Amino acid sequence: MSILTVDKLSKNYGYLKALNEVSFIVPGGSVFGILGPNGSGKTTLLGIVMNVLNATSCTFLWGLKVETPDSVRKQMGTLLETPNFYHYLSAEDNLRISARIKGRSEDDIERVLRIVNLYERRQSKFNTFSLGMKQRLAIASALLGDPDVLVFDEPTNGLDPAGIAEIRELIKELHKRGKTIIMASHILDEVEKVCTHVAIIQKGVLKKVGSVNEILESSTAGVEVAKVTVELAAADLQKLIEILKMNPAVESLQPNGEEVQLICSKDINGAELNKFCFDHGIVLTKLLIKRTSLETKFLEITGKKSDK
């Protein structure tokens, strides 16, 4: 089931095309990352599908239950801007205000504070929180009412490594609880670690969309299909090299000190490669498969130069 279908979404600011006929489908139960450099149109896109901004042209449809005009919005929790809380109020009091504004029950406050691991700090003032804790409180606000869909714009922006890790684990936990999460980010590593699907946008143009595995395994115009790099070592390196030359999956090999580095077809299997060597009298002391990262694929798709 699709949660969101976007068809030919465009947004113009005068002569500037912020978004140019962007189309994609968000599967239900996915963590869908909208990935692109700063200024690529990610925030504009989220603003349009949340009815905060008007598109120049587009059709989009939320696959949620429609009972009243406001029912779709009530099934979503959003974090589109920097958390905006009262600094001298407690976490609990800030959420009370959020609940009243959103028309949510205040009875839900304890539940969401426990989910984001802030219940023990519920009486602490907002200005005593770290950046990661402030962001978790903002996510708690988005969780009020137990929405089915969560929309986050740059949820780890400005956080230190510890704060990024906290938000990453929280997003994973929310996904396990059955939430569909749509998040915009320019941090490739975070998208690869938490997202199941990704849309890559550059200068308002959709470059690629699909599951993370599909993106990593896809070919790119002007770029060969991604290969797999394998590092191997054995007591008898020369014999290992001779044996590996017999394997049809090995496209090239290069000795590197006390090990050998292979370039193999992308469907290489570590267990099969290990068995192949063992069957030919070689016991491996190292076998490390390095598959294409999202960062590598992103640079292939968008080019290596910054948009700035």
Look at residues 185, 215, 179, 184 and name the one whose alpha carbon lies nearest to residue 197: 215
223: pLDDT strictly greater than 60 = no
pLDDT band at 109 (very low <50, low <70, confident <90, very high): very high
- For residue 308, tell me if it sits in a domain: no
- d(CA 1, CA 20) in angstroms, rounded, equals 26
Q: Write out the two tokens for 146.
A: 């137990």
One domain, residues 92 and 114:
yes
Predicted local confidence at residue 216, as pLDDT: 74
Kindly state the average pLDDT of the residues 13-37: 92
120: pLDDT strictly greater than 90 = yes
One domain, residues 16 and 44:
yes
Full domain range(s) for residue 240 = 228-291
pLDDT band at 290 (very low <50, low <70, confident <90, very high): confident
218: pLDDT strictly greater than 70 = no
One domain, residues 43 and 143:
yes
- Among 165, 192, 217, identify where a domain stops: 217
One domain, residues 97 and 178:
yes
65: pLDDT strictly greater than 80 = no
- For residue 303, tell me if it sits in a domain: no
One domain, residues 119 and 68:
yes
Predicted local confidence at residue 74, as pLDDT: 72
Q: How many domains does the chain have?
A: 2
- For residue 93, tell me if it sits in a domain: yes
- d(CA 3, CA 35) in angstroms, rounded, equals 18
**Domain CATH for 235:** 3.30.70.100
pLDDT band at 227 (very low <50, low <70, confident <90, very high): low
One domain, residues 235 and 136:
no
- For residue 307, tell me if it sits in a domain: no
What percent of the chain is modeled with pLDDT above 90? 53
One domain, residues 232 and 113:
no
Bridge partners of 62, per DSSP, are 4
Predicted local confidence at residue 178, as pLDDT: 93
Q: How many helices (H) and strands (E) does the chain have?
A: 11, 13
One domain, residues 36 and 185:
yes
Segment 168-217, tens digit of pLDDT: 999 999 999 999 999 999 888 888 889 999 999 999 999 999 998 888 76
Predicted local confidence at residue 102, as pLDDT: 86
Bridge partners of 244, per DSSP, are none
**Domain CATH for 73:** 3.40.50.300
127: pLDDT strictly greater than 50 = yes
Q: Write out the two tokens for 282.
A: 């070689």
Predicted local confidence at residue 86, as pLDDT: 94
- For residue 57, tell me if it sits in a domain: yes
Kindly state the average pLDDT of the residues 67-90: 79
What count of other Cβ atoms lies within 10 Å of the Cβ of residue 256? 10
- For residue 302, tell me if it sits in a domain: no
Predicted local confidence at residue 292, as pLDDT: 66
Predicted local confidence at residue 5, as pLDDT: 94
Bridge partners of 200, per DSSP, are 35, 208
Segment 249-272, tens digit of pLDDT: 888 888 888 899 888 876 677 888
- d(CA 31, CA 36) in angstroms, rounded, equals 16
Mean confidence (pLDDT) of the chain: 87
- For residue 20, tell me if it sits in a domain: yes
Predicted local confidence at residue 222, as pLDDT: 43
Predicted local confidence at residue 221, as pLDDT: 47
pLDDT band at 68 (very low <50, low <70, confident <90, very high): low
1: pLDDT strictly greater than 90 = no
pLDDT band at 72 (very low <50, low <70, confident <90, very high): low
123: pLDDT strictly greater than 90 = yes
Which has more pLDDT, 163 or 112?
A: 112
pTM above 0.85, yes or no: no
